[in-house]
Amino acid sequence: MAKLRLAIYAATAVGGIVWPWYCIYQFIQETEALGLTDPLEIVELFSQGVWANASAGFIAADLTLVLIAAFAFIIAEAVRLKMKYWYLYFVATFGISFAFSFGLFMFNRERNLIRSSNTSA
């Protein structure tokens, strides 16, 4: 069962790089087609898209609250399990994607739990 969890967490971490960044690539292609070159205009267009309508707003609000809860979980678990460099998951969230950083955290958490159960057995 632990190997299955590791595989799922690894897959979400990889998917958390590929899928969101594919969408960013598509967005960049769209901005180039519109002739936008000013970074501030591009960021503004991106931000408008996040809240473009009620369904997009629902997803943005929902994910924002999940992100806050996950950050609390990451801190609590990392401290409890004495995980090193836990703060890098926050950097990865905003530098890469939340799907990547949370999948990677869960993968490393699971490995940590497996190691600690093997040493205490």
Q: Please name the residues in contact with 90: beta carbons below 8 A apart, sequence gap of 6 or more.
A: 71, 74, 101
The pLDDT value given to residue 78: 97
pLDDT tens digits for range 21-72: 999 999 999 999 999 989 999 999 999 999 999 999 999 999 999 999 999 9
Q: What tokens does 8 get?
A: 């799922």
In this predicted structure, the answer to whether residue 112 has a pLDDT above a threshold of 70 is: yes
Question: Which long-range contacts (C-beta less than 8 Å, at least 24 apart) are formed by 91-95?
Answer: 93/67
